[in-house]
Amino acid sequence: AESTPVMEPALRAAVEAVHASPLRAVLHVTGGGAQSVGWIAAVPGASRTLIDARVPYARESMADALGAGPPAQFVSASTARDMAVAAYRRGARLCGGDRHLVGLGCTCALASHPPKRGEHRCHVATFGARGFAEYVLTMEKGRRDRWEEDGLASALVVQALADAAAEAEADGDFDAHGTETHHQRINASSIMAGRVVPPGDVFERTRTPLGDPLEYLIRGDGDVVEFDASSGVCTAVGVAPQPDSCVVLPGSFNPLHDGHRSMLRRALAMRPPGSVPVYELAVTNADKGTLRTAEVRRRVAQFICGERAGDDDDDSGAFIDEAEASSHGARLWLTRAPLYSQKAALMPGATFVLGHDTAVRLLNPKYYGGDGEMRAALEAMRAAGCTFIVAGRVEQGAAGDGAGSFLTLRDVDVPTEFVGMFEDLGEWRMDVSSTALRAAKDARVAEDGNGGK
């Protein structure tokens, strides 16, 4: 009788360590390295680590996995990086933001029939909130058969996951202040030791930390960064996790106040249980340009439990009570999407919560260059599965005292074919003005003689 294959002790120990860590992963492997998926799934605890694995072997499958056309070169460092980012995006879409989530991409050119003229090589990359790790292994031609080369590539995949798991265990995270709370260097290549035979085999590894996620966003390296709204820890980069289950309140949050929180709570109650509340702050503005990093950091600080956006004696209502934040379970998305057409493309399926004035502007043809352009933009938002909940506001009286009528969605001219995209927030009302709060704060500062400190 044939004996049952036994996983090498070093490999099994590495996979067990990965499963014991907080790491969660999506794998995209092609051209080789597929044995790694079986190894990872065969060791108990795989469900804690493995979200999804895909082998996009055909050209059409690779294009689908990347969400774009097929790569110019299938086996390259850039393709491995693109696969890792695509895998990360898939994990975030499936399971939400998680600072320990990584996407892994592996692409190989191994021994084949007829023999390849080029090098036998494997490129592996991982990507997550901490940045990229990249691995390239060039194998001596003729030393191994196809199965053995695939085993070596698969071991490299496990090595990459073990390195990511070690970082997750160290819990090295950038928070809203831009400081890394812990840091651990990647360990030596324990899994690859003894497998790589120099000088014929060449193994290289590089690590490119993401750095400060706010700087990453403001530089334009990505379109979105997610923070946990209670801890301030960066939980996702480059993707809006699970937007189709999110109720999103866009705003400048200068300052954040009770009206924002109350509006979002009310809108959340209008959606199915399990929907996630999200505050969205665009760091770019069509008219004002990009906010300075320090200003973005100041506004982000408002969302962190126990922090304010201003002075210690600021009683503007911008304080986030810890119980309030934790009961909300809210996320904070920073984006480079000032326009709702851009937000819809970035957050397909999301419900956006708007004030009355914003809804009026959203439906004003002059902001699009004409009625046809406006309708085309609304159609694109509808195709993305986005909907809108509109909150009312008090129309200022003749004396400017807020004694006018209360304006709601009924006072907004919604084109007939798009009526189904809009819903009224209902009887909710909270007369809080960000402008008034800023003016009151400025007046207090002037009175105290602090000179705007």
Per-residue pLDDT of the chain (453 residues; tens, 9 = 90+): 566 667 898 899 999 999 999 999 999 999 999 999 999 999 999 999 999 999 999 999 999 999 888 898 999 999 999 999 999 999 998 988 888 999 999 999 999 988 888 999 999 999 998 899 999 999 999 999 999 999 999 999 999 999 999 999 886 555 555 544 433 333 435 788 889 999 999 999 999 888 888 999 999 988 999 998 777 788 899 888 888 889 999 999 998 988 899 999 999 999 999 999 999 999 998 788 999 999 999 999 988 754 444 444 444 333 344 334 433 578 999 999 999 999 999 999 999 999 999 999 999 999 999 999 999 999 999 999 999 999 988 776 555 555 578 899 999 999 999 999 999 998 766 665 555 544 555 555 455 555 444
Shortest CA distance to 423 belongs to which of 267, 308, 245, 314? 267
108 beta partners: 122
pTM confidence score: 0.79
Q: Which domains does the chain have, with CATH numbers?
A: 9-211 (3.90.950.20), 215-448 (3.40.50)
**What pLDDT is stored for residue 233 in this prediction?**
83
- Give the tokens for residue 54: 């895909």
- Give the tokens for residue 74: 């299938």
pLDDT digits (tens, 9 = 90+) for 319-366: 344 334 433 578 999 999 999 999 999 999 999 999 999 999 999 999
User: Which element (helix H / strand E) includes 235?
Assistant: strand 234-237
Residue 4 one-letter amino acid: T
Dihedral class, residue 32 (left if φ above 0, else alpha if ψ from -120 to 50, else beta): left
Backbone angles phi, psi at 154, to 5 degrees: -65, -40
How far apart, in whole angstroms, are the C-alpha atoms of residue 281 and residue 255?
Answer: 12
Over 52-113, what HEC string results? EEECCCCHHHHHHHHCCCCCCCCCCHHHHHHHHHHHHHHHHHHHCCCCCEEEEEEEEECCCC
pLDDT digits (tens, 9 = 90+) for 120-163: 999 999 999 889 999 999 999 999 999 999 999 999 999 999 99
| Burial annotation 262-290 (CB, 10 A radius, 16+ → b, else e) | ebbbbbbebbeeebbbbbbbbbbeeeeeb
How far apart, in whole angstroms, are the C-alpha atoms of residue 418 and residue 94?
Answer: 29
Over 337-391, what HEC string results? CCCHHHHHHHCCCCEEEEEHHHHHHHCCHHHCCCHHHHHHHHHHHHHCCCEEEEE
Radius of gyration of the chain from its Cα atoms, rounded to whole angstroms: 26
Residue 134 one-letter amino acid: E
